[in-house]
Structures are given as C-alpha cells and as structure tokens.
C-alpha cells in the first residue's frame, strides 16, 4: 500500500532531495564549525576586552533563553506524534527505550565507582581538600536580557507528550493528531533554519565568556587527575555502548561512533542534551536509523539517558569523600547510583541540571556538607560539557538498538517510513 499524502508531507527528505543534497552541502561542516568556535572562543577570551565579552554574554544569554523556551515545545512536538504514529503498541517501545537508557546510566555509575575505588586511594591525598571558586563567577554581564519563559517545564513536556501520544493511539486519527504533525513540521523548520545554523556562534560565545572570566582553570587544575580519569571513563563508556549497539544492530561500532562526533562536539559547547537534540537527530539519521525511531528515541533519551553525567557525579563524589578523609561505604554508593539514575531525570537537558538534581542525594545519602556540595557543583560545571557530550553520543547507540529490535514493527505502524534524516539536514562532512 502506498503512503498517504499526509505521510509523504511529513517526510522532510525524499530520495530525490537526498541525492541532490551534496551539491548544496557547505564545505565547512558543522563539526568543523563547532570546533572552530571552541578554539576561537578560548583564544579570544583570554585577551578579550570588556565590550567583546559582554557582547558574547548578551548573545549567549539570548540564544540560551530561546533554547530554554523552545526545548519543551520541541520535546512535545516530536515525542507526542511519534508515539501516536506507533499505534497501540507504543507502551512497549516506551518501556524498551527507558529500560535500555536506565541500564546504560546505571552501568556508567558502576564504571565510575569501580574505577574510583581502584585509583583514587593512590591518586589523591586523603584530607587534602581545599576550597575552589565557582567557575561561573566573574563572567561578563550581558548588555541586556530578554525573559523567555518556556510555556511549561521539560518534565511537564515529557509527561504531556506521553499522555497525549498514548491517548491519540486510543482514538481514531483526527484533527488533534494532524495538529501535532503540523506542530512537528514547524519545530523541525525552526531546528534546521535557526537553531543549527546559530549553534557554532553560541558555542563560541559561551567559551569566550568562560575564558574571559578565568575561573575554569583553577577548578580544572585542582581536580586534574580526577578529570583525566573521568575523561578516559567516558571514552570507555562510549566504546562499550557502541560495541553493544554494533553487535545488536550488526553495524561497525567505530563507524557509528564516528558518525556521532558532530553531536559530541556540539554538546561540548552547549552543555545541554536537549539543546543538542537537533544535531543528534541529524547524525542518528546518517546511521540509517528510521525516522519514526529517531524522532521517538532521541528526544526521550536526551531526557532520561545520562550515563556520562552519572560517571562524572559518581567519580567526583568519590574524590570529594577521599579528599575529605571520609570512609567510602560501597553499599551506600550502590544505592546512590540506582537513585541517581532516577533523580537526574528531574532536570534533564539543562546545562548543569544533573548536578543540581543530584545535590539532594549527595546531602541525604552521602552526607555531604554545603561546602562539599559546592565543591562538587564547581568541579562538575567546569567540565559539564564532557558528560553531556557522552550522554548525547550514547543516544545514538540506543537508537541503533531500538531500530534493530523494534524498527520493523515501528515502521509498519507508521506507514513504512524508511531511514531519513529527521531535521532535513545533510550529513556532516
């Protein structure tokens, strides 16, 4: 049976346009632009005059505010119709994706715990903890700010998307589902026409203001050994994730991981899983993941899959305990990891949101004092982007697994849509 006109309209790329895309592809790809923004931001930030730092802070504030406004709408617009298109079996795919994401997050926590217990007693000096300044302190003030309050919170958007999406599977297809599909089309145009083109400039402005403030270096030097270990652990985590995904999906894990590098680089600058959703969607499309799967899995995983952040929080909390001369209670740490995987969902996709959500657990379960929590926040924020980059890159592995396990049934439920790029963008160079 041929697809209906509405289904054809919902697809952003046809084979013809996909074949014609290379002629329009910019020579300077997104990955190169993001990396250039990072390097230029740091270099110029070290000697930037006040007016330049304030200009960058103004742009970063405006763009960040717009992201905060559009991200809940983006989640609702992508997830709700994707669930509706899955039909009455949507609950199974929700459970499958959530189970994979939670297992990956908990595994990241245990990886950080095992490595920390083995290395930190030899790497760190117990009782040598010292005060560290907040890396965000002293940043240039914007010339002006514009309040862009989101229509609802991220968790509200996710719950609403679940309720509306599952609800639409229980009633005949009608005006409501058509309305959500049109909202999705609008959001996809905003992604491809506004957010993605401006992301490299946002990355540049963010790194310039941080470098101009000069507070990041002190935090990084204090925990240099811990940071090096955490960075290695995030790479190990990604290799494990894509090895499993490659085995399940029968794909070369290294090729798949390489395809996700633009999402990794973008997250380094945005420090936000949700803000990186447009690029993650784009790169997941290049892996051959079908559009219904990508549109369903990526926004959901950006909200509930925080394996990289969990590695960082568990590792840094262990380091603070060792540096404070406190005993490490392994059973308590295990319970902390399981709770962390759930608690961090309360603040998904927001720069620094994971450590803010985890601060309550740090105090209640690990007995952290206010200065210790402040040290955790300062250190975490100094390299927040690396955990976020690991989170979003791992989302590609989850999408590959779900596409392999349930892709045929999901595709059949949505009218036979094949592999496409959800944002209508061409693959990165």
CATH code, domain with 360? 1.10.3860.10
Residue 153 pLDDT more than 60? yes
- 125-152 residue pLDDT tens: 776 554 444 445 567 788 888 888 888 8
User: How sure is the predictor about 179, in pLDDT bands with cuts at 50, 70 and 90?
Assistant: very high
User: For the CA atoms of 333, 339, 344, 345, what is the dihedral angle to 10 degrees?
Assistant: 160
Residue 66: inside a domain, yes or no?
A: yes
Residue % of the chain over a pLDDT of 70: 75
- Number of domains within the chain: 1
Closest CA to 346 of 179, 215, 153, 128: 153
Residue 142: inside a domain, yes or no?
A: yes
Residue 194 pLDDT more than 50? yes
Residue 4: inside a domain, yes or no?
A: no
Average pLDDT over residues 266-278: 80
Closest CA to 32 of 192, 195, 200, 276: 200
Residue 3: inside a domain, yes or no?
A: no
216 or 378: which leads in pLDDT: 378
Residue 6: inside a domain, yes or no?
A: no
Cα separation, 253 vs 261, whole angstroms: 13
Q: Residue 357: what pLDDT?
A: 66
Cα separation, 313 vs 377, whole angstroms: 9
Residue 417 pLDDT more than 60? no
- 14-38 residue pLDDT tens: 333 334 444 444 456 655 777 788 7
Cα separation, 106 vs 331, whole angstroms: 14
Residues facing 290 on adjacent strands: 419
Residue 248: inside a domain, yes or no?
A: yes
Residue 426 pLDDT more than 60? no
Residue 360: inside a domain, yes or no?
A: yes
Tell me the angle at which helices 277-286 and 291-304 cross, rounded to the nearest 10 degrees.
140
Q: Residue 88: what pLDDT?
A: 58
Residue 63: inside a domain, yes or no?
A: yes
Cα separation, 385 vs 372, whole angstroms: 21
Residue 220 pLDDT more than 70? no
Domain that holds residue 318: 27-413
- 29-65 residue pLDDT tens: 655 777 788 788 888 888 888 899 899 889 988 887 8
197 or 346: which leads in pLDDT: 197
Closest CA to 399 of 142, 97, 113, 179: 97
């Amino acid at each position: 049976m041929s697809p209906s006109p509405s289904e054809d309209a919902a697809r952003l790329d046809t084979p013809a346009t996909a074949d014609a895309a290379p002629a329009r592809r910019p020579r300077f790809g997104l990955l190169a632009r993001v990396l250039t923004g990072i390097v230029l931001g740091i270099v110029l930030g070290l000697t930037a005059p006040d007016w330049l730092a304030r200009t960058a802070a103004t742009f970063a504030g405006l763009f960040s505010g717009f992201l905060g406004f559009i991200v809940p709408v983006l989640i609702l617009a992508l997830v709700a119709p994707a669930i509706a298109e899955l039909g009455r079996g949507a609950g199974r795919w929700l459970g499958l994706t959530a189970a994979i994401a939670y297992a990956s997050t908990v595994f990241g926590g245990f990886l950080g715990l095992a490595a920390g217990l083995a290395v930190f007693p030899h790497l760190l000096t117990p009782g040598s903890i010292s005060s560290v300044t907040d890396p965000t302190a002293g940043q240039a003030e914007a010339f002006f700010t514009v309040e862009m309050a989101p229509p609802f919170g991220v968790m509200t958007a996710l719950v609403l998307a679940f309720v509306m999406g599952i609800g639409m599977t229980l009633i005949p297809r009608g005006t409501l589902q058509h309305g959500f599909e049109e909202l999705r089309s609008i959001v996809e145009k905003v992604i491809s026409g506004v957010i993605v083109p401006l992301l490299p400039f946002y990355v540049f402005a963010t790194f310039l203001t941080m470098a101009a403030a000069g507070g990041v270096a002190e935090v990084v030097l204090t925990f240099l050994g811990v940071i090096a270990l955490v960075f290695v652990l995030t790479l190990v985590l990604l290799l494990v994730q894509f090895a499993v995904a490659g085995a399940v999906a029968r794909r070369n894990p290294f090729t798949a991981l390489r395809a996700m590098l633009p999402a990794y680089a973008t997250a380094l600058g945005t420090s936000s899983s949700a803000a990186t959703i447009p690029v993650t969607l784009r790169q997941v499309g290049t892996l051959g993941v079908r559009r219904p799967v990508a549109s369903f899995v990526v926004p959901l995983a950006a909200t509930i899959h925080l394996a990289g952040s969990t590695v960082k929080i568990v590792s840094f909390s262990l380091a603070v305990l060792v540096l404070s001369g406190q005993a490490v209670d392994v059973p308590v740490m295990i319970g902390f990891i399981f709770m962390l995987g759930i608690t961090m969902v309360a603040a998904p996709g927001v720069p620094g949101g994971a450590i803010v959500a985890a601060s309550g657990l740090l105090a209640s379960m690990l007995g952290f004092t206010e200065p210790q929590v402040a040290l955790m926040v300062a250190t975490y924020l100094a390299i927040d982007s690396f955990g976020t980059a690991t989170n979003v890159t791992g989302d590609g592995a989850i999408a590959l697994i779900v596409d392999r396990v349930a892709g045929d049934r999901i595709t059949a439920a949505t009218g036979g849509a094949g592999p496409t790029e959800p944002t209508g963008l061409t693959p990165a160079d």
